[in-house]
Amino acid sequence: MSKAVFLDRDGTLNAAVIRDERPYPPATPGELELIDGVADACAELTGAGFKLVCITNQPDIARGTQERATVDAINARLLELLALDEIVVCPHDDADDCPCRKPRPGMILDSAERLGIDLARSVTVGDRWRDVDAGHGAGTRTVFIDRGYAEQQPAAQPDLTVSDLKESIPWILASTL
């Protein structure tokens, strides 16, 4: 079985749009901007034998403020820029009570089954409490990218807290042998 790094999208791989100290996704593929060091970090992880899976909540689809086609176009652009194995999207909002919406681990569990991933040797990385809690729920190690958002902190203690993805690479490589 393979090992993987499950990566949140907005605020982890690409720059989130910040309004009122809260992160939001880019509105168009043209607004997509990779965070410095992300491409190198992904290449290093791929070179070390990790599958890379982006797991992203996109509730604006359910809210009617973003078209699914636009989200798909943003994800297609991200796949062009990074060596990701797949991008998994939850288009639901909290009221939908969906098992795939983070903090629930559904996207991670489904992807692990589909791609033959050993969750005990894998890591979930994200910039929000939902990412860390989903990783814990799936049985992965977790990395919290603390961007200082004005929102709740992870309920589960992350295994590592960093300021960006690149900073987490040595720990990920050492802790998943």
**Catalytic residue list:** 8, 10
Q: What is the DSSP string of 69-101?
A: HHHHHHHHHHHHHS--SEEEEE---GGG--TTS
3-state secondary structure of 175: helix
The answer to whether the beta carbons of residues 136 and 156 sit under 8 Å apart is yes
The answer on whether 8 is annotated among ligand-binding residues is yes
The answer to whether the beta carbons of residues 107 and 82 sit under 8 Å apart is no
| Residue listed under structure tokens 């090992």 | 3
The answer on whether 118 is annotated among ligand-binding residues is no
The answer on whether 54 is annotated among ligand-binding residues is no
The answer to whether the beta carbons of residues 25 and 161 sit under 8 Å apart is no
Spatial separation of the C-alpha atoms in residues 176 and 35, rounded to whole Å: 24
Taking each helix axis from N to C end, the angle separating 129-138 and 106-115, rounded to the nearest 10 degrees, works out to 50
The answer on whether 42 is annotated among ligand-binding residues is no
Spatial separation of the C-alpha atoms in residues 84 and 50, rounded to whole Å: 10
Q: Which two tokens stand for residue 79?
A: 């796949």
Binding residues for Zn(2+): 90, 92, 98, 100
Residue ranges for the known binding site for Mg(2+) are: 8, 10, 127
Binding residues: 8, 10, 90, 92, 98, 100, 127
